[in-house]
Amino acid sequence: MKDMGEASYILGIKIYMDRSRRLLGLTQFSYIEKVLKRFKMEHSKRGLLPMRHGIKLSKKQSPKTDEELKRMSNIPYASAVGSIQYAVQCTRPDVAYALSVTSRYQACAGKVTGRGQEHS
């Protein structure tokens, strides 16, 4: 067995330590950046809160016309939700509620639902 020193990454999760301040942290910043780029959301607004205040999502916002259904069928909404779920499980439990709210509409995601997910 070879000693390779302290771990700095494991399964794509960056480990950072500050022994003098007795701090240990995990971050998936690069994973989240890749997810944003994959779903063409790298220029979306970033905030301190996982979900915008006052956003109301409902089934009424689901696509109804053939045009709306076709447009939303080209958006990999369930894949985006799954990618965010991985981050929630590993390092971002603060995003769990926002993900729960947006994932309710995976079967029939609408325009507003897609924007609600962007903030996560």
- Residue 97 half-sphere exposure, CB side, CA atoms within 13 Å? 6
Concatenating the DSSP letter of every residue in 67-103 gives HHHHHHHTS-HHHHHHHHHHHHHHT-GGGHHHHHHHH
Beta partners for residue 10, in sequence order: 13
Q: Would you say residue 31 has pLDDT above 90?
A: yes
Cβ–Cβ < 8 Å for 61, 102: no
Exposed/middle/buried for 14, CB within 10 Å: 0-12, 13-18, 19+? Answer: middle
The mean pLDDT value for 93-117 works out to 72
The mean pLDDT value for 91-107 works out to 86
Pairing mode of beta strands 23-27, 13-18: antiparallel
Q: Rounded to 10 degrees, what is the CA torsion of 44, 104, 76, 110?
A: -70
The mean pLDDT value for 1-29 works out to 92
Residue 92 confidence (pLDDT): 92
In the chain, where the domains are located:
9-118
The mean pLDDT value for 53-67 works out to 76
Cβ–Cβ < 8 Å for 106, 99: no
32: closest CA among 85, 74, 72? 85
Non-local CB neighbours of 61 within 8 Å, separated by 6+ positions: 105, 110, 111, 112, 113
